[in-house]
Structure 1
Amino acid sequence: MLDAADPALTGREPLPGWVREMAAGVDLPALCERVVARDIAVAFPDLAEDAGFAEHLRASVRENLRLLQDVLCGRLPLDAVRLERPLVFARVQAELRIPQTALQRSYRVGFAEMWRAWADRLQEVAQAADVPRAEALRGLAQLTTAIFDYQDHVASLVAENHARVDEALSRTRAHVRQGLVREILRGDRTSLAPSDLITLDHDLGGEHVVVLLPEVAEGAAGSLMTGVRARTGVRQTLVHPLDLSRTAVWLTVPGWTREARRQLRAALADAGVEASVSEPLGGLAGFREAHEQAQDVERVRAAWGRATAPRVLEHADVALEIMLLRDPERGRRFVRAELGRLAEDTAEAARLRETLQASFRLGSHVSAAEHLQLHEHTVRNRLHRAEEHLGHPLTERRTELQVALRLQRLLAGPA
């Protein structure tokens, strides 16, 4: 019976026995995480926060590493390699309209990382076993050839699958529509032809509110909008996947009323989802700008901390924070100048800031005490200590102090 490493099966001379034994000793789980991190940083930086995408990538890398190790150890002929998770991942990329250039780049950087790990391991084994230099170099050359032969083999299969899926998807109206929306958001389209308007199938003449759902996939977002439409009276909605787990929804009416916006917020709150909501903006430019606003709101949520930020955040709620966060370093200098010792990362400073914010928001130390469930004397004492830390009365530079407290909360990061 022939061994898998027999040249009659592999079509090439097998790796030396000591190299095959070395290949079996690489820590695949640790190497998988290294490859995933490198791929995301180089080929998919825009999807760094998409946990679903990262898991698809991880499953693909994990399977490739296992198969590659089997090939290097002589347990599996290259021609017998059958892919499953890498082909699924190729389909995911095609559905997200990730170009094949990014796919190919991820394979280049990923396999370079794999080669580096096995080459480092080979060097360690060769030194420990006192393998002659010429033999070690031959082993490295054979290892390199085997790894990149495997890369060429699987990358071709994956690219072919990506192209096939992409071609099939390109024939569907929904996929064409998604591509058109992406072009509008990038600013590639400043006007739309009649055929584009038919493809988009959404009224651009009204006022658009964008709801960004950071933890709701496209299908669930579509179901959620059924209830939102019934609650608000909105008839025109466009659901657009930003990635595997984030969705943006355009809700368009001839003119948004205060009551309709109140109902929208209530419907999202009752649904229990996290949502970042834009102001109403009109026309094609408003279609794009409303999406930018919702993204700005979502960045404030991330800075605030998902555990403490309100589930539903509107642009009007955090417009000041959005403006101030455009220059974080200048914002930090402003916070330090206005708050002084109150900006420190201590439990006492945090208590005093919380008490100040409650007092400013509710208008009196009595209301603040009730809200914080503290005795009035405790609140009064805290406000007095805050004045001592500031070096001036709370009535002095009150506006600057309130702004600094709001900004400090974000610049300090999630609690």
Structure 2
Amino acid sequence: MTDFAGQSGYGLADREAAPPAWLHEVVAATPIDNMVDLIVELCSAQAFAAYSDDLEFCLKLRASVRENLETLKSVLCGATSLEGLTLTEPLKFASAQAHLGIPQTSMQKSYRVSFLTQWNEWTSALRDYITTQGISQEEATSALTWLTRVLFRYQDVVASLVAEAYSREGEALSRSRQHVQQRIVREILKSDENELTPSEVDTIGYLLDQSHVAVLLPNLAWGAANQILLGLRAVALPNHSLVYPMTLQSTVIWFGKRGGWKPETLRSIQDELQRLGMPASVSGSNDGFKGFKQCYDEVRQVERVRVGLNAVTETKVLCYEDVALEILLLRDQQRAIRFVQSELGPLSNDTVEAERLRETLEASFKCGSHVATAEYLQLHEHTVRNRLHKAEELLGRSLLDRRIEIQVALRIRKLVVKRK
């Protein structure tokens, strides 16, 4: 094995003060998988919290972190030089952030978090070796100083490369009409302003002084969403439409119409989405500039409910009007849980029996009679009667008492109680 003093991977300045020979062995023997997981978790929470649920974004973040760690490890082992360093995934990730309009300050923060964590992890590995091997204080200090110096030199190089990639992508995007359109929409959603300039209206190609409906497609990127737009327009018959990439893998489409939306037209949009077989959340109809933003808020709230319901039922497409009550009650999660427990009592338990009784109760409320309920559940009528009687015993009151509250509690329970 080549001694560090004879390696040329660090550049001229590093050869003048090579690390102790054992440092190479420590670095090479240190696994990085746990480091990758820790850095991704910290960066997601501290720098990219708004994108922590965006799978594609998180995968790009993980790929960037992993390549950075692997490259730094190679540099510390002397196999890679800082001079002429090339990276792939970190530069792709920087470009992705530029596309999403993530401020460069967030990217800078993520690198501060990342390199501080790496320094803590690498120095911890060295200290463990120093302690177990009885390394002298002088040699230990030399090793830790060298590692710190190389790590922060690596940080400077990488920070410059990703900042350049971010700026280059940002400049290219700033010349793109599509990106300008997305920037204007992003500013509309974030600001308290209630009007656009004529040039901004012309750029986004969508009038805000009309009645809006929004559709959130959580698993469809901007390009793919544009491909299904024609079919949706054919059933919605809007005056205008606008496609906006919410994240790297999810898209929101607004449809605008003068004169308002009829309920049957909203249902036709839902039916078309069902036919396409893709998950989607649909807002209610809202008017004007504020209505445009209200639609965006609604589809995000509907999507949270849809994801929660999808854990217990196959819910592909959901409309705001179908879950407006759930959205209202879920604004206070703890109060919603207490409401469910108070109204359902033992029926809220996560047991096979309680689940069977809840299913029968919901079917009974839906169907209206024992005979129809039995047919719906494909059970004998006596079985339905027995289950409903058992439910009344556990509730301690007739099902006719607080019927509405029980129905609401059954709906809310699906969203607030975690399944085993």
TM-score, length of structure 1 as denominator length: 0.96
**Which segment is superposed worse, 86-95 or 9-18?**
9-18
Letter in 2 for 1:192: L
**Is 2:104 aligned against 1:100?**
yes
Instruction: Note the C-alpha offset of 1:134.
Output: 2.5
Q: Is 1:343–1:408's contact at 8 Å kept on the other side of the alignment? A: yes
* SS of residue paired to 1:79: coil
1:299 maps to 304
**Is 2:392 aligned against 1:387?**
yes
* SS of residue paired to 2:102: coil
CA offset digits 1:280-315 (Å, max 9, x no partner)? 111110000011011111111233234625211000
1:136 maps to 140
* SS of residue paired to 1:77: coil
**Is 2:343 aligned against 1:338?**
yes
1:162 maps to 166
Q: Output the CA distance in 1 between the equivalents of 2:16 and 2:181.
A: 48
Letter in 2 for 1:34: L
Give the root-mean-square deviation of aligned CA atoms.
1.7
* SS of residue paired to 1:78: coil
Q: Is 1:5–1:14's contact at 8 Å kept on the other side of the alignment? A: no
* SS of residue paired to 2:243: strand
Could you tell me which of 72, 78, 81 is aligned with 1:77? 81
Instruction: Note the C-alpha offset of 1:201.
Output: 1.2
Could you tell me which of 247, 259, 262 is aligned with 2:264? 259
Q: Is 2:213–2:286's contact at 8 Å kept on the other side of the alignment? A: yes
Q: Output the CA distance in 2 between the equivalents of 1:6 and 1:409.
A: 58
Letter in 1 for 2:24: R
CA offset digits 1:208-257 (Å, max 9, x no partner)? 10001111111111111111112232241101001111111101111212
**Which segment is superposed worse, 283-292 or 327-336?**
327-336
Map 1:170-209 to 2 at 5 A: 170-209=174-213
1:236 maps to 240
**Is 2:181 aligned against 1:215?**
no
Gaps of 5+ in 1: none
Q: Output the CA distance in 1 between the equivalents of 2:282 and 2:116.
A: 42
Q: Is 1:26–1:117's contact at 8 Å kept on the other side of the alignment? A: no
* SS of residue paired to 1:208: strand
**Which segment is superposed worse, 265-274 or 298-307?**
298-307
* SS of residue paired to 2:241: strand
Instruction: Note the C-alpha offset of 1:325.
Output: 0.4
Could you tell me which of 280, 284, 289 is aligned with 1:279? 284
**Is 2:419 aligned against 1:403?**
no
Letter in 2 for 1:288: K
What's the % identity of the aligned pairs? 45
Letter in 1 for 2:369: S
* SS of residue paired to 1:24: helix
1:349 maps to 354
**Which segment is superposed worse, 157-166 or 254-263?**
254-263
Q: Output the CA distance in 2 between the equivalents of 1:246 and 1:209.
A: 17
Instruction: Note the C-alpha offset of 1:199.
Output: 1.6
2:92 maps to 88
Letter in 1 for 2:272: A
Q: Output the CA distance in 2 between the equivalents of 1:243 and 1:98.
A: 11
Instruction: Note the C-alpha offset of 1:414.
Output: 5.8
Segments of 4+ in structure 1 off by > 4 A? 9-12
CA offset digits 1:157-193 (Å, max 9, x no partner)? 1101101110110111111111111111113422212
Change beyond 3 A, Cα 1:137–1:281: same
Q: Is 1:14–1:74's contact at 8 Å kept on the other side of the alignment? A: no
**Which segment is superposed worse, 379-388 or 231-240?**
231-240
Q: Is 2:10–2:80's contact at 8 Å kept on the other side of the alignment? A: no
Change beyond 3 A, Cα 1:122–1:266: same
* SS of residue paired to 1:195: helix
TM-score, length of structure 2 as denominator length: 0.95
1:312 maps to 317
Q: Is 1:23–1:73's contact at 8 Å kept on the other side of the alignment? A: yes
Gaps of 5+ in 2: none
Q: Output the CA distance in 2 between the equivalents of 1:42 and 1:334.
A: 33
Letter in 1 for 2:186: R
